[in-house]
């Protein structure tokens, strides 16, 4: 099956700091997606990337689709308390199927 590796598993950051997280795979994906999941809720789509090398921003979030199509990163700038949550990368393959990483837990310290 498709496996995505996310690192680090958890991060503790000071409010106002930037944070970056990475997602890698041995498989090639044509679309990368980043989701955020709050406790007791389903994942919410943050950013979708459709082309190798693409760099996309959504407010304080920036994500890039790696040139090799086997990796992606997500950056959050000037973190705020509501950025707390689990961030998942996902790769789209086959007939619109998603493979998810295990997630990065982000904790923002006020």
Partner 1 sequence: EAGVAQSPRYKIIEKRQSVAFWCNPISGHATLYWYQQILGQGPKLLIQFQNNGVVDDSQLPKDRFSAERLKGVDSTLKIQPAKLEDSAVYLCASSLEEGPGGAQFFGPGTRLTVL
- Site map (CB under 8 A) of partner 1, residues 1-30, x = contact: ---x-------------------------x
Per CB under 8 A, contacts with partner 1 among 30-59 are 30-31, 33, 35, 40-45, 48, 50
* 13, 52, 61, 98: which one binds partner 1 (CB under 8 A): 98
Residue 102 binds partner 1 (CB under 8 A): yes
Single out the segment in contact with partner 1 by CB under 8 A; choices: 14-22, 54-62, 77-85, 93-101: 93-101
Q: Which helix (H) or strand (E) holds 73?
A: strand 71-76
């Amino acid at each position: 099956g498709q496996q995505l590796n996310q690192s680090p598993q958890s991060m503790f950051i000071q409010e106002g700091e930037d944070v970056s997280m990475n997602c890698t795979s041995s498989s090639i994906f044509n679309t990368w997606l980043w989701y955020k999941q709050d406790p007791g809720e389903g994942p919410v789509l943050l950013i979708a990337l459709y082309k190798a090398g693409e760099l996309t921003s959504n407010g304080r979030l920036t994500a890039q689709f790696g040139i090799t199509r086997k990796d992606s990163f997500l950056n959050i700038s000037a973190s705020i308390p509501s950025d707390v949550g689990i961030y998942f990368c996902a790769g789209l393959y086959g007939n619109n199927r998603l493979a998810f990483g295990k997630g990065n837990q982000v904790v923002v310290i006020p």
